[in-house]
Amino acid sequence: MAQRISGAYRLITMPSIYKGLMFSLGADRAISRYVDEVLQPKAGMKVLDVGCGPASVLAYLPSVDYTGIDLNEKHIAYAREVYGDRGRFIVGNVAHDVKQEERAFDLINVSGVLHHLGDDEASTLFRSLKRLLKDNGKLVTLDPVWLSGQRTVARLFNWLDSGMNIRTPEDYLGLLNGLGFDVQTRVFSDLLRIPYDHVVMIARNGRPAGVAD
């Protein structure tokens, strides 16, 4: 993974500090909008949350069959303590630890993950997720993005992000090339209290990936 984890960046691996930082930035409102406008989950869905962290999104979901997976043991321990009766929480890697559930999930959430991965890592992740997604399922990603004419402060926050692979919308789409997804993109510039830009990709099984009309 291509990310900064030393010095002050190490603090965000701690659930309490991570949650506090996200709250100060307005993440509660951002997650609520993301769920309502993009994920659009329905009760009873089988949901996989990749890179779930402390499973913050779960508080905004209806009654679903939830699986959260993350490499950070502390985040998963926190999620089990807070949401233990609402889902399954796994420390591990999707390619190895959920691979037996082929074509099992209605909705796969990959929020804040891709900008921590190199191109090869991200492409491998998508190949694994493709096998886990139902034929009529939906895969959604959310990440910071580089934009033409981007606000100076937003660009500064991109440079300070712990993830070292923030991309343009076109470069994010390129990670899905050849996988047979039908992809739409959307840019948000007002999810957080600070000037910050995010790109969302909504991928369904269908024609090859491309920029949405």
187-198 pLDDT, tens digit each: 999 998 889 999
Position 15 scores a pLDDT of: 56
Q: If you average pLDDT over every residue of the chain, what do you get?
A: 88
Position 95 scores a pLDDT of: 85
Position 161 scores a pLDDT of: 87
The CATH number of the domain covering residues in 7-205 = 3.40.50.150
Position 207 scores a pLDDT of: 44
Angstrom CA distances, 192 to 21, 41, 61, 154, stand at 12, 22, 20, 11
Angstrom CA distances, 166 to 18, 94, 109, 116, 158, stand at 20, 21, 18, 8, 7
110-168 pLDDT, tens digit each: 999 999 999 999 999 999 999 999 998 999 999 999 999 999 999 998 998 889 999 99
Residue 33 CA to chain centroid, in angstroms?
14
